[in-house]
Amino acid sequence: MAKLKRPPRKSVRNAHLRKHSVQRRTRKPAAPEFLSLQEIALAARRNLSADLWNHLVGGADSETTLKRNRQALDSLALRQRVLVDVRNIDITATLLGQTLSSPVFLAPVGGLVGFINPQEGAVPVARAAVAHGTTAFISTAATPGFEAAAAAVAEPLIFQLYVRADRQWVEDILDRVKAAGYRALCVCVDRNYYGRRERDIISRASVRDGFGDPSFQMGLQWSDLVWMKERIKLPLIVKGVATAEDARLSVEHGADVVYVSNHGGRQLDYAQATIEVLPEVVAAVDGRAEILWDGGVQRGTDVIKALALGARAVGVGKLLGWSLAAGGEAGVKRMLELMDVEIRTAMGLMGVTSLAQLNPSWVRPALPVGPSGVTSAYPWFEEKK
């Protein structure tokens, strides 16, 4: 999508999306407080142009993977126990030794935050995460740059690498990341080809910048992870793992964290849902690395399901984009607060008082109650026509 250094030639795609960036009906700031996540999604739909909305919510080709992510979550039911003292509920989590106030973190969303918030890009995302006591993944493509995002907060963040250009380019980026004070390196490994996102193609927003040699990215192998970790000397997170086989290989090649993700359904079409593959990844890792997960998260109950199946923390991507479009930094903060409210409420009703108590016994297969889609967890949601 966006990239670290723009070439002299104007990007057709980036210009198109920037032209159709956040379009507010008024210049007044968003409501200072949303009362539900549904309100945040509705506000984002009102504030975003059709092109940018479709770019944010769309998936690859038939969008089957996108729909499966949500359908698989809808196909899990939570068990509940009663007459448990739930006056004190602990939702703190840890990631690479850092205590998080919540098991929800802000997932990397490339340069999208720059299209939604052209003035500040990823800076309000970083500030919102740290203010809430959690963390944010800042991407290579983030604007105004990953160094600016790191400088905006007092706590170290996590850097996500999209490999562009050649080995020398990667080494230069890793050196800058280390100097900027990031606490871990996350390598996105499911972007050897760029997924065909037909909503963008149909709206003619799909022309991407040429940047470096795409064959270098296509040729990445497991040994390259070893080289990157040795270069930066930070904990390694491997993002885009969707099989037990690759989970084992990730650990064997130095991964400190295995991040289960299918890029929000935006890369391989007809892939399995991430919540479906989470148990096999957890079994394959067998405690040798920490597990992160994302894929269609819209509710606090989605987070609980993933934690019960073995994830340590859960990333929000589309929901991050919606909250930024709905209310900027304040919108992102409020989304995190509402996620915490939903998590605590569900845990209290389940009879669970800490995340450590969650395990696979708390979930059961169930039939979805209706069609699953990108906003299906919000029954009052209506798209603007």
Catalytic residues: 263
DSSP conformation letters of 133-165: T--BEEETT-SS-HHHHHHT-SS--EEEEPP-S
Cα-based distances in Å from 384 to 42, 44, 258, 261, 381: 9, 10, 38, 29, 10
Query: What distance in Å separates the CA atoms of residue 335 and residue 348, rounded to the nearest whole number?
Result: 20
Side chain identity, residue 292: L
Cα-based distances in Å from 166 to 170, 214, 327: 6, 9, 38
Kind and range of the H or E element at 292?
strand 290-293
Query: What distance in Å separates the CA atoms of residue 322 and residue 337, rounded to the nearest whole number?
Result: 15
Three-state SS at 63: coil
Tokens linked to 264: 């929000």
For 207, phi then psi, to 5°, come to -75, 120
Query: What distance in Å separates the CA atoms of residue 133 and residue 104, rounded to the nearest whole number?
Result: 10
Neighbours of 155 (CB within 10 A): 16
Query: What distance in Å separates the CA atoms of residue 208 and residue 340, rounded to the nearest whole number?
Result: 37
Which position has the token pair 């098991």? Answer: 103
